[in-house]
A and B are shown apart, each in its own frame.
Chain A
Amino acid sequence: MTATLTTATFPKRRRPRSSSPTWVVARTDLRQLYQSPDFWVPMLILAAFFFVVAPAVLLFAITHIGGNDLVQKMGATLSVLPGTARTAIDRRAPHANDAVKASYALAVYLFAPLAVIVPMTISTAVGANCLVGEREKGTGEFLAHSPATERQLYTGKLIASLVPGYATTLIGFGVYALVVNLIVGPHVGGWFFPTAQWWVLMLWVVPPFLALTLSVVLRLSARVKSAAAAQQASGLVTLPAIVVSYAQSSGALFGAGAGELWVGAVAWALAGLGLWRGAGAVTRARLLGVDGDLD
C-alpha cells in the first residue's frame, strides 16, 4: 500500500472538541472552505472590488478631480435624492461644494446595496454546493450514517454558508468605512461613517435577507442532482432576491428609522419561515442520493 502523497503540510494536530454536531458540521465545512483558496480567493477579490476598489476610485475622483463634467453631473443627481437624504447631507456639510456633497451621497447612500450583493453572492456560492456536494463526493454516506440529526446537519450547513458571506461583508464594511472616512471625511469635517442607518442595515436588515436566500438555496442544494445544477438554480433564485434586497436596503437607508426596522422585521419573519420549511429538505435519503424518499 504505497501512496503518492501531496507535500502540503498541516498545522499542529488539533484535539477533537465536544460540541454540538451542528457546530461540528459548520466548523468542518468552514475548515474545508479555508483550505480551498481556489474558491475563496475569487470571492475575496469580489469583496475587495465592491468594498474598496470601486468606492475608492470613484470617491477619490470626485473629491480630488473637481470641475470636470462627470462631477457636475454627479452633483446634479443630488437633486433626485429623497428629501431626508438631502437634509442630512446639508446638515453634515452645509458649505461644501457639489462634488463633496455628491461624494458624501455616494458613500452613505448609493453604495449601500453593495452590502447586500457581496454576502449574497458568496453565501449562495457556498450554500449551493454544500448538500449536493456531499452527495457528489460520496461523503453524504458518511453523514447519513452519522449520529447527527437531519436538523443538526441542516443548521450546520446553514451556518457554514452564512458565515463566509456575512463575515466578508462585516470586514468589507469596516474597510469601506475606513476608505470613505479617509477620502471624504476631511471634506465634511471629520469621520462620519458609518451612520446609524448603516448600523441598522448591517446588523438588522442584511442578515435576514441573507438567511432567507440561503433557505431557498439549501433546499435547492438538497434536491438537485448535481452541483452545476445547484449553481444554476441558485443563480436564478438569488438574482430576484438581490434586486429585492437591493431596493429594500436602499429604501432602508433613505427612509426613516422606523421604516428600516420594519423592513428588517419582515425580512426576519420571512427568513424564519423559510428556514423552518427548508430544514425538512435535508433527509438522509437525499444525502445518499436516492429517490423515493419516505422520510
Chain B
Amino acid sequence: MDGAEVVEMHGVRRAFGGTVALSDLTLSAMAGTVTVLVGPNGAGKTTAVRMITGALRAEAGTVRTFGLDPAAAGDIVRRRCGVVAAKPALYDRLSGWDNLVYAAELYRLGSRAPIQEAAARFGIEHALDLRVGGYSTGMKTRLALARAVLHDPELLLLDEPTSGLDPESSRAVLRLIDEMAAQGRTVIMCTHLLLEAEGLADQVVLMEDGRTLVAGAPADLVNLVWPHPSVVIDAVDRSVLEVLMRLPGVLAYHRDAGSASVELDDLARVPDLVNALTAAGAQLTRVTPHEPTLEELYFAVRSGRADGGLLPTRAPAEVGV
C-alpha cells in the first residue's frame, strides 16, 4: 500500500450546534507515513479523527479513507482502523484481559494469540488479570494502544496518546508509536505537545479554528517559513557583533539582550563570518547553526497568521511530504 493515499480530506466542515469544529479542513496522509496534527485545544483535531473513521459525518467537503467514504462504508473503514482516544476509553470494572477480549470479539478475532502478542508488545501482560480501574495512567495508555493494534489495523489514529503521562512513560509510548510506524502502518496522531512530533512526523499539519494553516514535511515547513539558514553568535564583547551587519551573505541581523542571530544566504559563509569577527577583535563564545523546532515553527506560523505577514503564501497542499 506504500505510496497510496490512505486518508484524504478536502474542504471538510462540521459544526455542533452553533460551534464550528471544522471549517475548512484539508489534509492527506500517505500509506506508511506518520502525520501529526498539531494545534491548540479546539482546533478540530479530535473531530478530524472522528471523521476519518466515519464516527462523525461531514456537513460539507470530502472525506475518503482507504478510498472509501467512511460515512457510507464505515463498517469496512473501521475494521481497518485502530483508534486510541484522548481518554483511554477503557472499562474500569473489567480486567485488562477482558478489555482486550471485548475488542477482539468486536473485530471477530477468535483466538487468544493476538491479545497475548499485543499485551507482550506493550509490556502489560503481567497486569492483564487485574481490574483496569487500578491501573496507572501509563498502563491504561499501554492497554489502549494494545487494544488499538489487536486486529492489525492499517491505519492508526492516536488522539493525544501521551496526555497525562509522565515524561518517561510519554517517551516509551512515543517509541512504541515509532516502532509501529516503522512496521509500515500509517499513523495519524493529534497533539498539542510539539516536542512529541519532533523526529516522529513525516508530515505535520498545523490546525487552528478547524482548518489547516499549513501542512508538509517538517523540513519543508521550516524552509517555507525560514527560507535562509540562521546562525546564533555570541561574544565576550557583544558590541563587536555589529560588524556582522556589513558582511557579505548576511541577509538579516537580529540582536536581543544576549546573543545575535544572523540569517545567511548560505551556511558555507560561517567560516568567513568567524574570520571577520576574529579580525575585528571579537572573542567568540558561541557560533551555532540554528535549527528551528516545531514549536518555533508553530508560533511563527500562528503569529504570521495573526499579523498577516509571515504565513506562507503557498497553499498547504503544495508542500509535499
Contact = CB atoms under 8 A, between A and B. Distances in A.
A-B complex is real: yes
B129 A147 contact: no
B134 A294 contact: no
A145 to B, nearest CB: 4
Nearest to A18: B110
B63 interface: no
A16 B103 CA distance: 9
A175 B10 CA distance: 64
A54 B122 CA distance: 54
B58 to A, nearest CB: 8
A91 interface: no
A3 B112 contact: no
A4 B132 CA distance: 11
B89 A16 contact: no
A6 B93 contact: no
Interface stretch (A24-32, A94-102, A195-203): A24-32
Contacts of A142: 83, 85, 89-90, 103, 147
A60 B94 CA distance: 43
A14 B133 CA distance: 20
A84 B99 CA distance: 55
Given A28-B94, A147-B75, A290-B16, A19 B134 contact: no
Contact of A10 (B89, B97, B108): B97
Contact of A138 (B88, B129, B147, B157): B88
A145 B110 contact: no
Interface in A1-44: 1-6, 8-10, 13-19, 21, 24-25, 28, 31-32, 35-36
B192 interface: no
Contact of B83 (A8, A28, A32, A145): A145
Contacts of A294: 56-57, 59
Contacts of A15: 110-112
B231 to A, nearest CB: 41
B17 interface: yes
Given A3-B138, A6-B131, A14-B101, A137 B16 contact: no
Interface string A71-93: 00000000000000000000000
A146 B106 contact: yes
B81 interface: yes
Contacts of B54: 284
Interface in A32-68: 32, 35-36
Contacts of B26: none
A285 interface: yes
A36 B107 CA distance: 26
A116 interface: no
A20 to B, nearest CB: 9
A292 interface: yes
B125 to A, nearest CB: 11
B251 to A, nearest CB: 48
A10, A19, A32, A140, most chain B CB atoms within 10 A: A10
B115 A16 contact: yes
Nearest to B116: A13
B59 A31 contact: no
Interface in B9-27: 15-17
Contacts of A36: 93
A35 B93 contact: yes
Contacts of A19: 105
Interface string A117-149: 000000000000000000001111110111111
Contacts of B87: 138, 141
Nearest to B136: A3
Nearest to B127: A5
A225 to B, nearest CB: 13
A291 interface: yes
A295 interface: yes
Given A13-B128, A288-B55, A6 B90 contact: no
B91 A139 contact: yes
B110 A10 contact: no
B118 to A, nearest CB: 12
A24 B102 contact: yes
Nearest to A139: B89
B94 A3 contact: no
A140 B50 CA distance: 12
A17 B105 contact: yes
Given A14-B101, A15-B112, A145-B53, A6 B139 contact: no
Given A13-B112, A15-B112, A139-B91, A6 B106 contact: no
Nearest to B78: A147
B102 to A, nearest CB: 5
Interface in B36-90: 50, 53-57, 59, 75, 78-79, 81, 83, 85, 87-90
Contact of A148 (B59, B94, B106): B106
Interface string B141-169: 01000010000000001000000000011
A151 to B, nearest CB: 11
Given A32-B93, A145-B157, 9 more contacts: A8-B130, A10-B97, A10-B129, A18-B109, A35-B93, A36-B93, A142-B90, A290-B16, A291-B16
Can you list the 6 inter-chain pairs with the closest CB atoms, starting with the nearest?
A6-B134, A138-B87, A1-B138, A3-B136, A16-B104, A141-B85
17 contacts: A1-B139, A1-B169, A6-B130, A6-B131, A8-B130, A10-B95, A36-B93, A140-B89, A144-B50, A145-B53, A145-B157, A147-B106, A284-B54, A284-B55, A292-B15, A292-B16, A292-B17
